[in-house]
Amino acid sequence: MTGRTPARALHVVQISRDADLLRPLPGFEPVERQLAYARELDRQAPESVLTVIVVAPHTGSSGWQRGNTQIVPVGGFIRGCVRCLHVLWQLHSRTPISVITTQVPYDEAWLALAVGRWHGIPVIGQIHSDLFAEHAAADFRTRVKAAPRRWATRKALRAFAAVRTVSSAARTSIATFAGTLPVVTIPVPVPMVSSTARPASAPDKEPRVIFVGRLAPEKDLDTWLAVARAVSHQHPAARFEIVGEGPERARLEQEADRLGLGRVLSFTGFVPHARLGEVYARAAVLLLTSRAEGFGRVLVEAASQGVAAVSTSVAGPRDVIINGMTGFLHEPGDADGLARSVSNLLRHPLRAVAMGARAQTLVSARFDPARLRTAWVNLWVTTAEAAARTA
């Protein structure tokens, strides 16, 4: 944006499924992220407004406004999608919309595209998940459930003015059937990343292996537990920690007991973003066994704190980890391979520290939050400007 004339004032509307945005708590990361986008929008196009429509299953919130940011809740995914249409019309009638972005490229994206076509508003689609990939580790039910979304996405993609992905793998997938579509890879900014390097993990810290994230089927935490069991047999002093909440917690706790991990494994539950630094500070290794990861945010967080990672080689992690240099990558479901790499790092703590330091340097350059915010907002501005020129 250096040397560029500021753009005209814009009204940008994002359609999100992040219910956390309905809790405007001071310092709350999802809220602060949107406020930072809004500040960057005002920098690039002064007097602009950012509206975020939040589609959530249940909401009693009336929304909120802060500065040039307003949050508009819409309850229920099915009913909410229809209500989105009404809200978009209302917003446009009060303050004409310059560009619309959708968090998912199906469901409410179709409604956004309909409004966009009627009013001549460009729509930017987003792909945050590993939507087009199928792995041997995925069961039949998962594949069948994902098929309609892949079909709807392919149909919608051709109608978007541009698409934002968060991984290079997703960008490559789109290029195979929509080569002329403007596609930009812009990962989600991770506040823990800083250009000021933090001390890497100490080689004499406790041999603790952690997981951070939602306890959901796609994380394949059964494989995680199998790895923990194998590693604990080789490293009796090792400790394991699962941080997060989700629908799988009760079942996983039972499975951990069945595997005899009760003495060495703890379930910490949800940890606020502001305290995640404490979690990574006590970790020697981050282990991620996901069947699919659109981005791999926790890998970036861990690397920013100098923690080496062992992960499955799916879309997002392949952008974060250089195999053998900043961590290790294995195929989904490869419990033996994952266990070997975790054991390697626990057996050679200096190697783990060196990997963590290289990972820290890599993410500081590749995932600088300010640069990513600027790139995402710049896509809004340039897409709106292009549409205005052709109107």
- Rounded Cα distance, 116 and 342, in Å: 49
Note if the pTM is more than 0.85.
yes
Provide, for the chain, the percentages of residues in helix, strand and coil under a 3-state DSSP scheme, each rounded to the nearest 5: 45, 20, 35
Which of 75-79, 200-204, 208-212, 273-277 is predicted most confidently?
208-212
145: confidence class by pLDDT, cuts 50, 70, 90:
low
Cα 296 to Cα 15, 44, 260, 301, 318: the distances in Å are 22, 29, 29, 9, 9
55 beta partners: 74
Per-residue pLDDT for 90 more than 60? Answer: yes
For the segment 55-72, the average pLDDT, to the nearest whole number, is 86
User: What pLDDT is stored for residue 135 in this prediction?
Assistant: 47
User: What pLDDT is stored for residue 180 in this prediction?
Assistant: 78
What's the mean per-residue pLDDT of the chain? 89
Locate 112 and state its tokens. 């956004």
pLDDT in tens, 182-205: 899 999 999 999 755 555 566 678
* All structural domains of the chain: 11-189+368-390 (3.40.50.2000), 208-366 (3.40.50.2000)
Supply φ then ψ for residue 39, to 5 degrees: -65, -40
Lowest average pLDDT, out of 38-47, 71-80, 94-103, 350-359, goes to 71-80
User: What pLDDT is stored for residue 107 in this prediction?
Assistant: 77
- Rounded Cα distance, 335 and 3, in Å: 52
- Rounded Cα distance, 287 and 211, in Å: 6
- Rounded Cα distance, 10 and 50, in Å: 8
Question: How big is the chain by its Cα radius of gyration, in Å?
Answer: 22
> E strands along 7-98, which residues?
11-16, 49-56, 64-66, 69-75
Chain CA centroid to CA 25, Å: 20
Locate 173 and state its tokens. 């997938």
Closest CA to 142 of 126, 153, 131: 131
Locate 52 and state its tokens. 């975020």
Look up residue 100 and give its amino acid: I
Per-residue pLDDT for 104 more than 60? Answer: yes
128: confidence class by pLDDT, cuts 50, 70, 90:
confident
Lowest average pLDDT, out of 4-18, 54-68, 207-221, goes to 54-68
User: What pLDDT is stored for residue 243 in this prediction?
Assistant: 98
For the segment 81-97, the average pLDDT, to the nearest whole number, is 90
